[in-house]
Amino acid sequence: MEIIKTDFLIIGSGIAGLSLALKLKTLGEVIVITKKRLFDTATSLAQGGIACVLSEENHFDLHIEDTKLAGDGLCKDEIVKLVVKSAPARIKELIDWGVSFDRDPENPSRFHLTLEGGHSRKRILHVGDYTGRAIERVLIENCLASENIILLEHHFAVELILDRGCDADACKVDGVYVLDLEGSKVKIILAPIIALCTGGAGKVYLYTSNPDTATGDGIALAYNAGVTIANMEFFQFHPTCLYHPKAKNFLISEAIRGEGGILLNPEGKPFMHKYDPVRRELAPRDIVTRAIDMELKQSGGECVYLDITHLPSDYIKKRFPYIYETCLKFGIDITTQPIPVVPAAHYLCGGIKSNLWGQTDIFNLFAIGECACTGLHGANRLASNSLLEALVFSHQAYLKIKEIFPTLKKEKINLPKLKEPEIKEIKEEKIFISHNWDLIRKIMWDFVGIVRTTKMLNFAYKRINLINQEIEENWSGIYLDLDVMELKNIALLAELIVKSALLRRESRGTHYVLDFPFKSKEYERDTLLKKFP
């Protein structure tokens, strides 16, 4: 078996992984692995932008306040302050790497800032309506130009290798079993520092804005290694994904509502005033999503509409070129027609529990970006705070790694006996795999979605457990098939989400349970899950 040794192993090529790589390259050799192509990330899909306080009237305190209000009592103060106050420095770094944020046409010495739901001030920096794509491109270009960074596409992280020689409190990770999907072999990559930057888990749900890569792999890797996972019940649903039979995962950015877009019910009437009379369309996402869910359930309609036709056609085309062109491909001219939209699973607020430095329970295993639960988002993420969180925590991790790496590098790796994994072939028809994929996603959408009940959650729990047993019996081990490997992860993620949802007997943020419609002081804490308690 091929064994590769490096200084830093990063799993994931989104904003978290690549921004960390660009910092660590000054300390040693970095390998970044990614399971598809470099560009296949949620980062590439981000439209709206990055929240950052740049102007004096747009005080840090207000961004902190807005973040905490959205987080509904569960944000960690220290983390919120850190992220908001570090934003200008991290944005400057992005600009130095080559990202060119839009300027204000009236005053080109300033950036053009926009508004999104839950923000009390305009503070979102953006590049048209394709901010993520612009950032991802710059990060990839910089990584490709660096001699110290090795980028390996189609490499899937399967299992963490732990140093079993150490005691529980000081347990260490030594490497990762990696499936080389194109070379059809398993490799071991050993490194004194490993960072999980594997993104979210939207594929657990039938409808999602997320890319196909979002199967919660990093969370599964960490959980299986005994690391603590937090707040999995808080899955944010984005209120407005394009509703069209041929559109897959296409998000209609919150910035459209920021520019005055109005939501209309299936009868063509505005409705947000009934649910949040003051903020209306700009209420936080959980409120807007539940309002749409209610309107759809009451009317039996299939979608609601987002209308921006009151704005001049030229302005719409210039401000939202990507959304305009994509909708036009589906026969919808957003300058003259309201856009059909539905909610979809969008962002996992929970994840691998990490500290101020991005460290997990295992001190040399870091978790950064959407796979981590830092305490920034609490029970509900404020729009455009996630790209920022990834940047801030890759910097925090870099600071900690700079401190611990010299000692770790000198240490001898005390490896357990490495197994020679056999790569298995699927014996039965692939329909067993695709059926279980669909089943899990449908169960999660129908019973663990926007509005939950204890009965629905218990129903889902039993069914997901059965699927997990079947997976264990039939597909344990390593298969040279991404669908099988990801199926195991979405099944585990589904179980963790339902378990956490059952533990939180209140409604808070994105977790809304009809049997417990109120917030309870008793639950002002994280929901923690661990494989080996």
Ligand X SMILES: Cc1cc2nc3c(=O)[nH]c(=O)nc-3n(C[C@H](O)[C@H](O)[C@H](O)COP(=O)(O)OP(=O)(O)OC[C@H]3O[C@@H](n4cnc5c(N)ncnc54)[C@H](O)[C@@H]3O)c2cc1C
Where do contacts with ligand X occur on this chain (CB under 6 A)? 11-17, 33-36, 40-43, 45-50, 131-132, 156-157, 197-199, 209-210, 213, 217-218, 251, 347, 369-370, 384-387, 390
Nearer to ligand X, 71 or 218 (CB): 218
Where do we find the tokens 């959205």?
70
**DSSP for 387-445, written as a single string:** HHHHHHHHHHHHHHHHHHHHHHHHSPP-PPPPP-PPEE---S-THHHHHHHHHHHHHHH
* Smallest separation, CB 173 to ligand X (Å): 15
* Smallest separation, CB 319 to ligand X (Å): 14
Cα distances (angstroms) measured from residue 302 to each of 279, 340, 341, 440, 444: 25, 9, 9, 22, 19
Joined tokens for residue 341? 């939209």
The span from the CA of 380 to the CA of 56, in Å, is 27
* Smallest separation, CB 120 to ligand X (Å): 17
Residue 363 DSSP class: T
Burial of 411 (0-12, 13-18, 19+ CB in 10 A): exposed
Nearer to ligand X, 181 or 451 (CB): 181
CB distance 492 to 486 below 8 Å: no
Nearer to ligand X, 198 or 510 (CB): 198
* Smallest separation, CB 40 to ligand X (Å): 5
* Smallest separation, CB 170 to ligand X (Å): 26
* Smallest separation, CB 17 to ligand X (Å): 6
The span from the CA of 305 to the CA of 233, in Å, is 28
Question: Directed axis angle between helix 431-447 and helix 482-503, to 10°?
Answer: 20
Nearer to ligand X, 265 or 358 (CB): 358
CB distance 187 to 252 below 8 Å: no
Joined tokens for residue 462? 């039993």
* Smallest separation, CB 459 to ligand X (Å): 28
Where do we find the tokens 């059809």?
184
CA-derived radius of gyration, the chain: 22
Nearer to ligand X, 144 or 166 (CB): 144
CB-side neighbour CA atoms (13 Å) of 76: 17
Active site residues: 285
Query: Looking at this protein, which amino acid is placed at residue 359?
Result: Q
Of 197, 141, 532, 175, nearest in space to 398 by CA: 197
Nearer to ligand X, 157 or 401 (CB): 157
* Smallest separation, CB 457 to ligand X (Å): 25
Nearer to ligand X, 76 or 285 (CB): 285
Count other Cβ atoms within 10 Å, centred on residue 57.
8
Helix (H), strand (E) at residue 42: none
Nearer to ligand X, 199 or 261 (CB): 199
Q: Are strands 149-152 and 365-367 parallel, antiparallel or unpaired?
A: unpaired
| Cross-strand partners of 161 | 175
